Amino acid sequence: MDKLIVKLVRKFQTNDPFVIAQGIGIHIRYADLGERTRGLYYKKLRRRFIVIHDQLSDDWSRFVCAHELGHDRLHPGFSRFWLDEQSFFNVGKFERQANKFAARLLTAGDSPKNGEAIADMLRRNGVPEEMQTFYF
Task: Tell me the pLDDT tens digit for each residue of 52-109.
Answer: 999 999 999 999 999 999 999 998 766 544 444 433 434 578 888 999 999 999 999 8
Domain that holds residue 40: 2-135
Q: Is the pLDDT of residue 111 over 90?
A: no
What CATH number should be reported for the domain holding residue 66?
1.10.10
Cα dihedral 94→23→7→68 (10° resolution):
-10
User: What Rg, from alpha-carbon coordinates, does the chain have?
Assistant: 14
Number of domains in the chain: 1
Specify the pLDDT at position 83: 41
Q: Is the pLDDT of residue 45 over 50?
A: yes
DSSP letter, residue 19? H
Q: Which residue has the higher pLDDT, 44 or 88?
A: 44
Rounded to whole angstroms, the Cα distance separating 17 from 66 reads 5
**Model confidence pTM above 0.85:** yes
Query: Cβ(135)–Cβ(118) under 8 Å?
Result: yes
